Chains A and B, each alone.
Chain A
Amino acid sequence: MNILVVDDESDMETLFQQRFRKEIRDKRIDFFFANSGEQALFYLESHVHEAVLILSDINMPGISGLQLLKMIKQKYENPPPVVMMITAYGDDENYKQAMQLGADDFLTKPIDFTLLKDKLNARINGKDSGS
């Protein structure tokens, strides 16, 4: 499965690669990284046919995570990619907005990688079992 991580912190890439090194080694997950909403949209343009799960930060310069979420859900309707929001601002308002815009999940920073792994595994397995 392809997972696109969108975060303006570039070290997120190293962190994810290390945290998920087993999954990467086992070729269960392929990670792609975008440092901004704009980069994420650009990536999606060229990988539109690949099954993609998106993990996006909300608070980024330029296109914010919520705007990105809205655009993705509007543009890619069939089937809409799974978008999970990961943010340092875990307040109600942010959560409600994300859910309204169709977020599939909402996680707060610091990322609980055990929880994230479980959720991702569930998605992968669910998808596997579904197909």
Chain B
Amino acid sequence: MTMSIEPILAFILIRYLRKNLKTFSPDPNWNKLFTGFLYAIIALFVVEVAFHLSFILVWIWHVLLLAIVYVTFTVPKFERTRPVIIAVLPFIVLSIVSDILENFAHPFYLRVESIFEFAFVAAITLMVALLVRSSRQVKALEKERQKTLAEEEKRKFIAAQNEKLELVVAERTAEITMQKDELQHALHELKATQTQLIHSEKMASLGELTAGIAHEIQNPLNFVNNFSELNSELIEEMKTEIERGNLAALIEIADNIKENEEKIMHHGKRADGIVKGMLQHSRSSNGQKELTDINALADEYLRLSYHGLRAKDKSFNAMMETHFDESLQKIQVIPQDVGRAFLNLFTNAFYAVSEKKKHSGEEYKPTVTITTRKCKEGVEITVRDNGDGIPEKALDKIFQPFFTTKPSGEGTGLGLSLSYEIITQGHGGDIRADTKDGEFAEFTIKLPA
């Protein structure tokens, strides 16, 4: 019985060892050795069967099996295979003991042969059971390994995907950054353009003002020249009167000189104020609020605006009605900014009445009315003209930048939007327009005290 099992077992075990070795820790030397043994086993087995040499070869099988057991338990590489070897170990030991007894203590062997037979069955059963268990464990392990591998695969896949995504994100980020930079650049340019436009608008209105300012300065200068000439004459007269000793005349002349001197001073200061106002208008606002007499400010810019238009259009003329509330308290404003807003409204009003005058008869009296009064919030300034009014559909656009109803080249379209900004953002005030087509336009500014 043992004759056919042992070589097969040795063959299976060596194959098993070889396979195990290949899977977990490949080693060409061991592999060669195992392959060699496998061929040797086949050869010996053939010899055994052919020549009935089992009485010798049986010991070779025993030695071979013991060698396998020895190798398995001494070489750390084969640690994994030990459970399988343990499963077959009882069978091997039993087979060796049985053969020794059969050959060297035959009578005793015969007596216990049935016991051995029983033991063999038990050993084989145990072997099968252990092998099945081991195989199950191996399968479970393999399954676990496959699972780990799959997970590893999945993880790698995700990592690759992540890497791709990272690349895409980096690309997008670069794109967005570039776009952001471009936009920032565009914004910067727009801001620069805006500053420039505001500056041009200021300069344009300054141009409109120049004639008005020149006229306004010319008048006081004429007075200064005239009165100082007069004083020279008077001093000459004084000398004559001194020679005559006419004291009464002298006193009168002295009084006149003094009076003229006061006029000179007054008109000198007037010219000074106009120049300062002009400088303030052209200078960019320093943003300093100061206590300002709104009546005086409105009056100053009203005159400048009127003379400016008058210089441009010789036939232009309009009634200026001012209703200034003299009890108005001074309020904190940036005078040159509010002045610019006023100037704009006045110029628009004068423009409106002069346009209407062109197509109206003699009975039309172009009139611009400025009214100041106290209000709940502070000070209210109303600029009303009896021009053609603002068309209904334009009314909600008039404070937008670049919106203008004037023919191209005549207006920047920035005047009212700048005025709006000055009043609302610059001073926390309010500006509103009211109009009736063909009859009037009225702008009301409210400035907080």
Contacts and interface: CB of A to CB of B under 8 A. Distances in A.
A9 interface: yes
B267 interface: yes
Contacts, number: 54
Interface residues of A, number: 21
Contacts of A14: 259-260, 263
Contact of A89 (B256, B314, B319): B314
B256 A64 contact: no
Nearest to B222: A110
Interface in B294-321: 306-307, 310-311, 314-315, 317-320
A64 B311 CA distance: 14
A93 B314 contact: yes
Nearest to B322: A61
A59 to B, nearest CB: 6
A18 B319 contact: no
Contact of A88 (B219, B227, B230, B259): B219
Contact of A61 (B221, B222, B260, B306): B306
Contacts of A11: 223, 263, 266-267
A42 B223 CA distance: 27
A46 to B, nearest CB: 23
Given A11-B223, A88-B219, A110-B222, A61 B320 contact: yes
A110 B225 contact: yes
B319 A62 contact: yes
A89 B317 CA distance: 14
Interface string B129-153: 0000000000000000000000000
B292 interface: no
A46 B68 CA distance: 152
A54 B436 CA distance: 41
Interface string B257-278: 0011001001100000000000
B35 interface: no
A8 B317 CA distance: 14
Contact of B260 (A18, A97, A113): A18
A15 interface: yes
A100 to B, nearest CB: 13
B194 interface: no
B195 interface: no
Interface in B228-271: 230, 256, 259-260, 263, 266-267
State the majority secondary structure of interface residues on B: helix
B222 A67 contact: no
Highest count of chain A CB atoms <10 Å: which of B225, B230, B266, B320: B230
B50 to A, nearest CB: 145
Nearest to B231: A18
A14 B231 CA distance: 13
A14 B266 CA distance: 13
Contacts of A19: 226, 230
A113 B267 CA distance: 19
Contacts of B318: 61
Interface in A14-64: 14-15, 18-19, 59, 61-62, 64
Contact of A109 (B218, B307, B320): B218
Contacts of A113: 226
Nearest to A17: B256
A91 interface: yes
Given A19-B230, A61-B320, A91 B222 contact: no
Contacts of B219: 9, 88, 109
Max chain B CB contacts within 10 Å: which of A88, A111, A113? A88
A122 B215 CA distance: 30
Given A11-B223, A15-B223, A15-B227, A88 B260 contact: no
Contacts of B311: 89
A35 B205 CA distance: 29
B370 to A, nearest CB: 12
B319 A61 contact: yes
Contacts of B259: 14
B226 A15 contact: yes
B317 A64 contact: yes
A78 B307 CA distance: 36
B225 to A, nearest CB: 6
Nearest to A91: B314
B375 to A, nearest CB: 27
Given A62-B319, A94-B314, A88 B306 contact: no
Interface string B337-366: 000000000000000000000000000000
B414 to A, nearest CB: 28
A7 to B, nearest CB: 10
Interface in A63-121: 64, 67, 88-89, 91, 93-94, 97, 109-111, 113
Contacts of A15: 223, 226-227, 230, 263
B230 A18 contact: yes
Contacts of B314: 89, 91, 93-94
Contacts of B222: 109-111
**3 closest Cβ contacts across the A-B interface?**
A110-B222, A64-B317, A61-B320
Given A9-B223, A97-B315, 7 more contacts: A15-B263, A61-B318, A61-B319, A62-B320, A88-B215, A89-B310, A94-B314
10 contacts: A11-B223, A14-B260, A15-B227, A18-B227, A18-B260, A59-B215, A59-B307, A67-B317, A110-B222, A110-B226
